[in-house]
Amino acid sequence: MGSLNSQENISSNLFTNPLDPEEFRRQGHLVIDFIADYYKSIEKYPVLSQVQPGYLKKRLPDSAPYNPEPLETILQDVQDHIVPGITHWQSPNYFAYFPSSSSVAGFLGEMLSSGFNVVGFNWMSSPAATELESIVMDWFGNMLELPKSFLFSGNGGGVIQGTTCEALVCAMVAARDQKLRKIGRENIGKLVVYGSDQTHSALQKASQIVGIHPENFRTIETTRSTSFALSPESLKVTIHSDIEAGLVPLFLCATMGTTAIATVDPLGPLCSVAVDYGMWVHVDAAYAGSACICPEFRHFLDGVEGADSFSLNAHKWFFTTLDCCCLWVKNPNALVSSLSTYPEFLRNKATESKQVVDYKDWQIALSRRFRSMKLWLVLRSYGVANLRNFLRSHVKMAKIFEGLVGMDKRFEIVAPRNFSLVCFRVSPAAINNKASSDQNGKRDYCCDANGDEYSVVINDVNRKLLESINGSGHVYMTHGVVGGLYMLRFAVGATLTEEHHIALAWKVVQEHADQILIKY
């Protein structure tokens, strides 16, 4: 090693302008080629990463390099050390959680957004970033046939957040402050938030952040009789009980496409209950909302006109890269009233004219990315007709998988399929030494959530089956538990998935079931 001065001289000789256009062009081509090659060969990788915790620390140096390294060397390290630690969400054999679908247009929009690298906190900081977002959110809202009251062309408006949790926090803060202005801020401890036992955990996190007392967070039990959708009657009973206890109903989150089984809460009846008590209603359609651009799925949004806010994640099932959560509100002033700050360094004539949108007042953070660019490219590059066809193809493939499950008597479908998610499990009848113990020979196993020994065995078999499937690396699925019943979730939605991948996935399921069931 030389002296510090000599190292600095070497470093200065190697250093170039970090934003040199021609070097960007050269290196950009290298990265594009690398990513294109990755997608071309993505199926050779195990879908679920097979590394162990701490693997990367053993492979990388203890400190950052003192001198520059060529991109070629870095990309080789990405291939050798990073790719093995990636779970390949874009693999055509990825069927876990919900999709995080992407597209060429989504990638290129992200490149443009990052390339401009604007910080669009208010209109003046980049007028195009603000105005494109407003336009695109109205475009998308019209595609979904949202009521005009949610659009800028009405009296509402849309904003692109990072995630559903952020959208929920913003909506709940607005609801909280509206209510406290009426009942007094000293009564924040009386406010109650409502969801079901199928509502995403983001609601609980949002209520914690907003300052709702932990004991005032309600998870209302759902049952199989309603396909595990939130019952308006159960909601009403719970609200009455809270009012009698001196509490104040604040916020209801209804879901279109729940996490475990993609069930849909009855939006109209739930909104009718909530309006009687002056509650804010948010509709979380993070996964399934995108499907409503197809007329055959739009009925799932019936009743949304009674809600105060609505959100979906374009980065889930709408071919737009993470992060892109679209939030529409009927009363933007409620958001602005709760989230606005106006320090001296941000004062400007455009804002004071009241003729522009300053999106910093519609979100938690001050700074914000040019997210609308990628959504704009997706909408323009594919058009409504193609986007509908993409979504329909995923639903069609889910139907194919559902049919394959139905043809094998060892398996059963355990929840209605509404969109592109199939929930299934090994049937109790396939577990020989246990099935014979049932005296009647018939039993409503899908309802069996008593936690008895038999239920435990059935759940354990399905748990082992999922672990075996995922351990193979050929496909990746995740599980859900509803009413005590453990099930495998097969979520179609990766952009590269085709029908032959569905057949392959089912073959993998059958082969691993053969190995598991031989022990029972």
Strands 157-161 and 280-284: unpaired
As a whole number of angstroms, the distance between CA 420 and CA 99 comes to 10
Residue 372 lies in a domain: no
Assess contact for 207 and 173: CB atoms under 8 A: no
CB-CB neighbours of 27 under 10 Å? 16
For 435-488, write each residue's pLDDT tens digit.
444 444 444 434 444 556 668 889 999 999 999 999 999 999 999 999 899 999
As a whole number of angstroms, the distance between CA 433 and CA 519 comes to 10
Same domain, 286 and 422: no
Same domain, 175 and 315: yes
CA dist list (Å): 484 to 199, 243, 292, 367, 480: 16, 31, 30, 43, 10
Same domain, 341 and 425: no
Count of structural domains within the chain = 2
Residue 365 lies in a domain: no
Q: What is the pLDDT of residue 445?
A: 38
The domain boundary, picked from 296, 324, 357, lies at: 357
Q: What is the CATH number of the domain that holds 488?
A: 3.90.1150.10
Q: What is the pLDDT of residue 453?
A: 64
Same domain, 492 and 408: yes
Residue 482 lies in a domain: yes
**In the numeric block, which tokens belong to residue 83?**
């790719």
Residues 6+ away with beta carbon under 8 Å from 502 = 397, 400, 401, 404, 492
C-alpha closest to that of 268 among 230, 307, 229, 296: 307
Q: Which domain holds residue 185?
A: 158-357
| DSSP string over 197-228 | TTS-THHHHHHHHHT--GGGEEEE---GGGTT
Q: What is the pLDDT of residue 448?
A: 46
Assess contact for 313 and 324: CB atoms under 8 A: yes
Same domain, 283 and 205: yes
CA dist list (Å): 393 to 143, 256, 276, 397, 493: 19, 20, 41, 6, 9
Q: What is the pLDDT of residue 451?
A: 52
Residue 32 lies in a domain: no
Dihedral of CA atoms 417, 418, 422, 427 in degrees, nearest 10, equals -20
For the entire predicted model, the pTM comes to 0.91
Same domain, 416 and 305: no
Same domain, 232 and 316: yes
As a whole number of angstroms, the distance between CA 289 and CA 317 comes to 9
Same domain, 227 and 347: yes
Amino acid at 185: R
Beta strand segments in 261-336, E: 280-284, 309-313, 325-329
Peptide bond into 62 cis (omega under 30): no
As a whole number of angstroms, the distance between CA 499 and CA 403 comes to 13
CA dist list (Å): 513 to 310, 436, 492: 41, 19, 21
**Ranges of residues in the chain whose predicted pLDDT is under 70:** 1-15, 432-454
Residue 147 lies in a domain: no
Same domain, 339 and 398: no
Residue 387 lies in a domain: yes
Half-sphere CA count of 208, side-chain side, radius 13 A: 6
Residue 165 lies in a domain: yes
Residue 238 lies in a domain: yes
